[in-house]
């Protein structure tokens, strides 16, 4: 009669040698399972969230958090969640055309609190990304082909057109843009003036905490340049933005420099402009 595999063990369950063999086998199986479990727990599975409207994405892998797209509350909320779940993350890689001022500042605060490096990837880091996120990095890297651009901030509200909702006596509402003389009059309204002054002080405190001259965000307006602008690494340092690393060809090799008509402003061309100031 042909003996089945498990019949052998059933008929030899009192064999000392057989029992020793089984004990050894069980031990090896247990060790193998433990090693497999340990290896699974140390492997980090990449995580990624893409907003339904594709306006932003946030991903984490290893020690890098990657943010692409508009800076908005849902996106920064997701970034904060990933940072809480992955305390070893030390680098923020970002590509952003800008977004909400408050959310740019919030992401900048997260970067500063964790002493993270910031790496500009892809094509651009503009507006709120440049104003608040980039300057918050411990070390700051601009990858070849990427571009850093500024075009204003609440430090000079008179240069930032405002779109407000106006409601008439019939309850009909419409959006109205204020700029030029109309903007100056709008900013004089008591309730608006209070808000503007609060925002200005908040901005000054934000840059003071980083020992950065916040006028880097309004340099273009101060010299009368109605433009988006970038700066050389050397001039960034003169505004207190230290630890910046970029290719020697920056910014000339960035494709978007010409495409977006971005102007490279140089402090040496404006000797009357007082720069620096880390106080």
pLDDT at 115 over 60: yes
| Cβ-proximal residues to 252 (8 Å cutoff; 6+ apart), any chain | 264
Residue-wise pLDDT tens digits, 240-269 = 999 999 999 999 999 999 999 999 999 999
CB 113 within 8 Å of CB 85? no
- pTM (2 decimals)? 0.79
Q: How confident is the model at residue 40 (pLDDT cuts 50, 70, 90)?
A: very low
How far is C-alpha 241 from the chain's CA centre? 16
For 255, the 3-state DSSP assignment is: coil
- In angstroms, the Cα distances linking 204 to 131, 168, 265 are 12, 36, 22
φ, ψ of residue 230 to 5 degrees: the values are: -130, 175
In whole angstroms, give the CA distance from residue 232 to residue 215.
15
In whole angstroms, give the CA distance from residue 229 to residue 242.
18
φ, ψ of residue 13 to 5 degrees: the values are: -70, -10
Q: What is the reported pLDDT for 165?
A: 75
State mean pLDDT over 133-154.
Answer: 97
State mean pLDDT over 196-217.
Answer: 96
Beta bridge partners of 244: 140
Secondary structure element (H or E) that encloses residue 34, with its range: helix 16-42
Q: What is the reported pLDDT for 117?
A: 98
In whole angstroms, give the CA distance from residue 248 to residue 261.
21
Residue-wise pLDDT tens digits, 61-86 = 999 999 999 999 999 999 999 999 99
Tell me the pLDDT of the chain averaged across its residues.
84
pLDDT at 270 over 60: yes
pLDDT at 1 over 70: no
Q: What is the reported pLDDT for 159?
A: 77
pLDDT at 198 over 50: yes
């Amino acid at each position: 009669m042909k003996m089945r595999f498990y019949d052998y063990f059933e008929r030899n369950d009192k064999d000392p040698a057989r029992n020793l063999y089984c004990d050894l086998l069980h031990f090896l199986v247990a060790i193998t399972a433990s090693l497999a479990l340990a290896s699974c727990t140390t492997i980090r599975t990449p995580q990624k969230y893409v907003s339904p409207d594709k306006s932003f994405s946030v991903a984490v892998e290893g020690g890098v958090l990657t943010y692409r797209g508009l800076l908005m509350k849902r996106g920064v909320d997701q970034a904060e969640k990933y940072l809480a779940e992955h305390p070893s993350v030390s680098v923020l890689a970002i590509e952003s055309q800008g977004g909400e001022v408050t959310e740019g500042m919030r992401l900048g605060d997260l970067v500063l609190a964790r002493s993270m490096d910031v790496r500009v990837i892809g094509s651009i880091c503009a507006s709120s990304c440049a104003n608040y996120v980039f300057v918050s990095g411990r070390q700051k890297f601009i990858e070849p082909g990427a571009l850093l651009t500024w075009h204003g901030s609440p430090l000079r509200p008179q240069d930032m057109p405002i779109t407000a909702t106006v409601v008439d006596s019939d309850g009909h509402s419409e959006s109205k843009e204020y700029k030029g003389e109309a903007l100056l009059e709008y900013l004089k309204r008591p309730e608006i003036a209070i808000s503007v002054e609060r925002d200005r002080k908040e901005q000054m405190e934000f840059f003071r905490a980083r020992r950065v001259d916040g006028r880097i965000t309004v340099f273009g307006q101060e010299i009368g340049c109605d433009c988006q602008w970038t700066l050389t690494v050397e001039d960034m340092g003169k505004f207190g933005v230290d630890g910046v690393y970029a290719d020697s060809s920056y910014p000339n090799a960035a494709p978007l420099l010409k495409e977006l008509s971005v102007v490279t402003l140089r402090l040496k061309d404006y000797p009357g402009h007082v720069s620096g100031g880390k106080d």
